[in-house]
Amino acid sequence: MRYSGKTVLIFGGNSGIGLAAAKGFHAEGARLAITGRNAESLAHAAERCGAYAIRSDIASVSDTEAAIDRAARELGGIDILFVNAGIGGFAPLPEMTEAFWDSVHDVNLRGCVFALQKALPAMRDGGAIVITGSIGSMLALPGNIAYAAAKAGLRAAARILAAELLPRRIRVNMVSPGPTETEIFKRGAPEAEIGALRAMMTANVPMKRMGTAEEIARAVLFLASDEAAFINGVDLFVDGGCVEL
List the chain pLDDT tens, one digit each, 245 residues.
999 999 999 999 999 999 999 999 999 999 999 999 999 999 999 999 999 999 999 999 999 999 999 999 999 999 999 999 999 889 999 999 999 999 999 999 999 999 999 999 999 999 999 999 999 999 998 999 999 999 999 999 999 999 999 999 999 999 999 999 887 666 556 777 778 878 888 999 999 999 999 999 999 999 999 999 999 999 999 999 999 99
Is residue 32 in a domain? yes
Cα 138 from chain centroid (whole Å): 17
How many domains does the chain divide into?
1
C-beta of residue 163 within 8 angstroms of C-beta of residue 120 = no
Pairwise CA distance, residues 189 & 167, whole Å: 46
Q: 83 Cβ partners below 8 Å, 6+ apart?
A: 11, 12, 112, 115, 116, 129, 130, 131, 132
Domain membership of residue 106 as a residue range = 7-238
Is residue 1 in a domain? no
Is residue 104 in a domain? yes
Instruction: Please identify which of the residues 130, 147, 158, 165 carries the catalytic annotation.
Output: 147
Cα 35 from chain centroid (whole Å): 12
Pairwise CA distance, residues 30 & 79, whole Å: 10
The answer to whether residue 147 is catalytic is: yes
CATH of the domain at 33: 3.40.50.720
Is residue 244 in a domain? no
> Can you state the angle between helices 39-49 and 16-27, rounded to 10 degrees?
30
Is residue 243 in a domain? no
Its pTM stands at 0.96
Is residue 169 in a domain? yes
Sign of the Cα torsion 47, 52, 54, 59 reads negative
Is residue 2 in a domain? no
Is residue 109 in a domain? yes
Host H or E run for residue 64: helix 61-75
Pairwise CA distance, residues 94 & 223, whole Å: 39
Burial of 52 (0-12, 13-18, 19+ CB in 10 A): middle
The sheet carrying 123-132 orders its strands as 52-55, 31-36, 7-11, 78-83, 123-132, 171-177, 235-238
